[in-house]
Structure 1
Amino acid sequence: MSKARFDDHPESTTENSQTAVLSPEERRAQGSALRDAVSREAQGGWKPPKKRRDPIDLLVASNEGRMPELVPIRFGRMLQSAFTFYRGSAAIMAADLASTPSSGLRVQACGDAHLLNFGGFATPERQVVFDVNDLDETLPAPWEWDLKRLATSIVIAAQYLRLHENEAARAATATVRAYRERMIEYSSMRSLDVWYDTIPLERVQAEMGGSSDKLRKLIARRIEKARQQSTVESVFLKLAEHHGALPKIKDNPPLVFHFSEEQAPAMRTQYREALATYRESLPEHVRVLFDRFHLCDLAAKVVGVGSVGTLCAVGLFMAADNDPLFLQVKEARASVLEPYAGQSLHANHGQRVVAGQRLMQAASDMFLGWTTGENGRHFYIRQLRDVKISAIVEGWDVDRLIIYSRLCARALARAHARSGDAALIAGYMGSSSLFDNAICEFAVEYSDQNQRDYRTFVKAVREGRLEAQVEENP
Structure 2
Amino acid sequence: MSAVPEGPCPRERAAAGKALRREVPRSRHAEYAPAADRADPIELIEVQSALRVPELVPLRYARMLESPFRFYRGAAAIMAADLATTPATGLTTQLCGDAHLLNFRLLASPERHLLFDLNDFDETLPGPWEWDVKRLAASLVIAGRENGFDEAVRSGIVRTACASYREQLRRYAGMRTLDVWYARADMEDVRAAEAHWLSSIGRGRLAGLMDKARSRDSLQAFRKLVRVDGDRVRFAADPPVIVPLTDLLPGVEGDEMAEVLRGLIRSYARSLRSDHRHLLEQYRVVDMARKVVGVGSVGTRCWVVLLLGKDTDDPLLLQAKEADESVLAAHTAPSRYANQGERVVAGQRLMQATSDIFLGWERATGFDGRQRDFYVRQLRDWKGIAETRIMVPRGMRRFAALCGATLARAHARSGDRIAIAAYLGQGDAFDRALAQFAERYADQNERDHQALVEAVGAGRVTAVPG
User: Which category of TM-score, normalised to the shorter sequence, fits these structures?
Assistant: over 0.9
Corresponding residue SS for 1:436 = helix
Structure 1 equivalent of residue 449 of structure 2:
454
Does residue 148 of structure 2 align to residue 162 of structure 1? yes
CA distance, structure 1, for counterparts of residue 142 and residue 258 of structure 2? 46
Corresponding residue SS for 1:367 = coil
User: Which stretch of structure 1 is more off in the superposition, 317-326 or 399-408?
Assistant: 317-326
Cα displacement (A) at 1:444 = 1.1
Alignment of 1:42-61 (within 5 A): 42-61=28-47
Q: Are the structure 2 counterparts of residues 56 and 270 from structure 1 closer, same or farther at C-alpha, using a change threshold of 3 Å?
A: closer
Cα displacement (A) at 1:33 = 1.0
Structure 2 equivalent of residue 4 of structure 1:
none
Alignment of 1:325-364 (within 5 A): 325-364=316-355
Structure 2 equivalent of residue 295 of structure 1:
285
Cα displacement (A) at 1:20 = 3.5
Structure 1 equivalent of residue 74 of structure 2:
88
Cα displacement (A) at 1:258 = 2.3
Structure 2 equivalent of residue 113 of structure 1:
99
User: Which stretch of structure 1 is more off in the superposition, 307-316 or 253-262?
Assistant: 253-262
Corresponding residue SS for 1:145 = helix
* Alignment counterpart, residue 219 of structure 1, candidates 196, 206, 209: 206
Runs of 4+ in 1 over 6 A off after TM superposition: 15-18
Query: Do 1:24 and 1:188's aligned partners in 2 also have CA atoms closer than 8 Å?
Result: no
Alignment of 1:371-410 (within 5 A): 371-375=362-366, 376-410=371-405
Report Cα offsets for 1:292-341 as digits up to 9, x if no partner: 11111110111100010000111001122221110011111000000001
Structure 1 equivalent of residue 235 of structure 2:
249
CA distance, structure 2, for counterparts of residue 219 and residue 175 of structure 1? 19
User: Which stretch of structure 1 is more off in the superposition, 355-364 or 244-253?
Assistant: 244-253
Q: Which amino acid aligns with 1:216?
A: R
Corresponding residue SS for 1:373 = strand
Query: Do 1:206 and 1:216's aligned partners in 2 also have CA atoms closer than 8 Å?
Result: no
Corresponding residue SS for 1:257 = strand
* Alignment counterpart, residue 430 of structure 2, candidates 423, 435, 454: 435
Q: Are the structure 2 counterparts of residues 207 and 393 from structure 1 closer, same or farther at C-alpha, using a change threshold of 3 Å?
A: farther
Q: Are the structure 2 counterparts of residues 143 and 268 from structure 1 closer, same or farther at C-alpha, using a change threshold of 3 Å?
A: closer
The Cα RMSD (Å) is 1.9
Cα displacement (A) at 1:59 = 0.8
Q: Are the structure 2 counterparts of residues 386 and 30 from structure 1 closer, same or farther at C-alpha, using a change threshold of 3 Å?
A: same
Does residue 316 of structure 2 align to residue 316 of structure 1? no
Alignment of 1:171-186 (within 5 A): 171-186=157-172
Q: Which amino acid aligns with 2:215?
A: Q
Structure 2 equivalent of residue 228 of structure 1:
215
CA distance, structure 1, for counterparts of residue 282 and residue 414 of structure 2? 35
TM-score by length of structure 2 reads 0.94
CA distance, structure 1, for counterparts of residue 433 and residue 239 of structure 2? 46
Report Cα offsets for 1:48-92 as digits up to 9, x if no partner: 111000101101111122111111111111111101100110000
Cα displacement (A) at 1:272 = 4.4
Extract unaligned runs of 5+ from structure 2.
none
User: Which stretch of structure 1 is more off in the superposition, 33-42 or 178-187?
Assistant: 33-42
* Alignment counterpart, residue 100 of structure 1, candidates 86, 95, 110: 86
CA distance, structure 2, for counterparts of residue 335 and residue 144 of structure 1? 17
Corresponding residue SS for 1:251 = coil
Q: Are the structure 2 counterparts of residues 266 and 348 from structure 1 closer, same or farther at C-alpha, using a change threshold of 3 Å?
A: farther
CA distance, structure 2, for counterparts of residue 125 and residue 258 of structure 1? 33
Report Cα offsets for 1:120-168 as digits up to 9, x if no partner: 1101100010000111100001000000110111111110101011111
CA distance, structure 2, for counterparts of residue 329 and residue 268 of structure 1? 13
Cα displacement (A) at 1:211 = 4.2
Cα displacement (A) at 1:242 = 2.5
Q: Which amino acid aligns with 1:161?
A: N
Report Cα offsets for 1:425-470 as digits up to 9, x if no partner: 0111122111111122111111111111111111111111111122
Q: Which amino acid aligns with 2:135?
A: R
Extract unaligned runs of 5+ from structure 1.
1-14
Cα displacement (A) at 1:270 = 5.9
Structure 2 equivalent of residue 273 of structure 1:
263
Cα displacement (A) at 1:37 = 2.2
Q: Which amino acid aligns with 1:372?
A: R
CA distance, structure 2, for counterparts of residue 270 and residue 43 of structure 1? 48
CA distance, structure 1, for counterparts of residue 253 and residue 31 of structure 2? 46
Report Cα offsets for 1:202-232 as digits up to 9, x if no partner: 23434555342232123212221222232x4
Q: Which amino acid aligns with 2:281?
A: D
Q: Are the structure 2 counterparts of residues 266 and 32 from structure 1 closer, same or farther at C-alpha, using a change threshold of 3 Å?
A: farther
Structure 2 equivalent of residue 366 of structure 1:
357
